[in-house]
Amino acid sequence: MSTLVGILLDVSASMQEQAKGCFDEEGGEWARSVFKVIDDLIKHDVSSNNHVFAIGVGGCGDQTFDILKTIKQFQGRRQNEMCSQSYDEILEKIFTVLEKGGAFKIRKWVQPEVIKNAVTIEMADLMLHQLQTNAEFLEKFVHKCLPSACRHLTSQSTEESLIGRILNGVGNVAQNICTYTATKIFTATEEDVIEVEKRAKSCLLKPVQDVYSVHEASTIVHGYVDEKELTDERLDELMELVEPFIYERTPLFSAIEEETTVFLKDQFSDHKKLLSVLSDGDPTDKGELEKASFGFKSLDVTIVTCFITRSNDVEPKRLFSEEHSLWEDGAKFLFRLSSILLTDRLYRSIFVKRGWNIDINNNETRLFIQVNHPDNIHDACDLAKTVVCSQDALSDLLVKVSLDRYINRNTKYLVARDQGDDATCYAFVAATVIHLSIHRIIGREGGWPDFNIILHNIIRCYGTKTASTLNVLKHVCPEYRLQCRKINIEEALQAITEKRPVVATYRLTDDERQIFSDFFYYNKRGILSKEEIDITKGPRK
């Protein structure tokens, strides 16, 4: 099944404070980890039908923004092309392009030295590039970022307009003088320039509109087509591009609404949906968490939340069933937002092998973890992919871990038995499949009955003569709160893919039965293959 992954990444000022000093070992700040999260969630995903979108929370102007689309607009701009000219040359070109765009009074409104004191050369160079290459941004900059006084042609034309209006009537003189005064050019201060820069950066942040294939997203993040790894050099580039636009307030509820809008799109109605949230869980806007959670649940969106904290009092690799009263408010917020997962749907052995501790109260757990280190962030992504995104890709691994682990642990010392005159194969089959099924349930009420107890109970009820395995299972399964039914070949393959136990029955000819008996008489722990039982090869010598 195709997958749609939504990523909500908190890059607000509060996150900057929470993450400060926590990621030094990785050589960077929180923003670097943001890109690692995106990369982790799409890495090794080879399906062209899988899609992803990433929303940043905490951009300039307290807004949310499309992380991938915002990066994409800078994609062709390499580090060695930046700041290759002096600040004065950059400013001269900025003034020229703004004048052509309609800001005729820009040189009178602001002095170059004021800009130099307020804006870095890197940001000025970036603004120049956007003004020269992005006509939409130029128009927004002139008409939305700059004060209106910058757009008036000349003071002479203003004066002539004033005189003309005065001649229309003495009663309008006071109003016209006020208009003239309002349009006079006043020299900008550093604070004025900083405000313009803020508005301009808000215009460069792209709204959430696009959904990308995993291949497109990988190319955007990595910077090159077919680039396999996210290098430190590329992380530095992404950091330098994004950092000037982030670390503002945290409108989490607005971001949640935007995520919902994307998941609602008709083209993704049949997709498996995942939302991965990394935040300190401290929204600065208003909203109803219960309503938001219900919206995601109605869309069948699985939510994995990751609480970022500076606290050392967190337990890595743990899933919780219940909220703790001593948690921070942000942790409680994200815990309530996360999805509830019945523990019998978890691939328990996968998590146990990787060192996870899973709460199983009421046979359910929350997809919520707490992290204070980049390694834990990787674990959060791994959790999301394992539970939701990559079940098919993990098929071989799951079979190896779940089934082999069961076989090794529970049948290590079992050998083929000589049943004598008893025809109890059906009982061994039924007991084995029941035993395997109940061991898939984490925290099963009443525990897990021993294999021999299950076997003896079946033989006691159905005897030592031949019996229908299907009929036996139909009667015995309910005793262990299990169900079974007859399925066709396609359904059997699907069940195996989902790691559900399947019983296949077969019949043997007299010759095949003799081969069967001889094989296990001499190979009590052997595996009977087609090579051994294929009677079409002719008689053995």
pLDDT in tens, 460-476: 999 888 889 999 999 99
Dist. CA 467–CA 476, nearest whole Å: 13
Residue type, 264: L
The reported pLDDT for the residue numbered 459 is 92
User: According to the model, what pLDDT value does residue 156 have?
Assistant: 41
Instruction: Tell me how far apart the alpha carbons of residues 267 and 460 are, in angstroms, rounded to a whole number.
Output: 56
Distance CA 254, CA 249 (A): 12
Q: CA 167, CA 161: separation in Å to the nearest integer?
A: 10
Let me know: does 507 contact 501? Beta carbons within 8 Å: no
**Element housing 291 (H / E):** helix 289-298
Is the four-CA dihedral 469, 471, 473, 479 of positive or negative sign? negative
Q: Could you give phi then psi for residue 106, rounded to 5 degrees? A: -60, -35
Residue numbers of the chain with a pLDDT score lower than 70: 1, 16-32, 44-48, 75-83, 153-185, 224-228, 343-353, 374-375, 386-420, 442-443, 497-499, 535-541
pLDDT of residue 81: 54
| Residue 439 CB neighbours (<10 A) | 19
Give the pLDDT score at 37: 85
CATH topology of domain 3-73+206-393: Rossmann fold (3.40.50)
Structure tokens belonging to residue 461: 């009820």
Cα–Cα–Cα angle for 462, 467, 473, rounded to 5 degrees? 75
Let me know: does 244 contact 201? Beta carbons within 8 Å: yes
- pTM greater than the 0.75 cutoff: no
**What is the 8-class DSSP label of residue 44?**
T
Local structure of 324: helix, strand or coil: coil
* pLDDT score at 388: 58
- How far is it, in rounded angstroms, from Cα 275 to Cα 523? 51
- Which residue is it, tokens 């003034």? 95
d(CA 108, CA 67): 36
For the chain, domain boundaries:
3-73+206-393, 79-203, 406-505
Helix/strand/coil for 30: helix
Q: What is the pLDDT of residue 191?
A: 95
Tell me how crowded residue 170 is: count the other CB atoms within 10 A of its CB. 8
Of 452, 416, 411, nearest to 431 by C-alpha is 452
* Residue 275 to residue 149: CA distance in whole angstroms: 46
Give residue 24's pLDDT.
Answer: 43
pLDDT for 390 equals 44
CA proximity to 250, closest of 451, 18, 522: 18
Q: Tell me the DSSP string of 370-400.
A: EESSHHHHHHHHHHHIIIII-TTTTHHHHII
- Report the distance separating Cα 327 and Cα 295, nearest Å: 25
pLDDT in tens, 474-498: 999 999 999 999 998 878 877 776 6
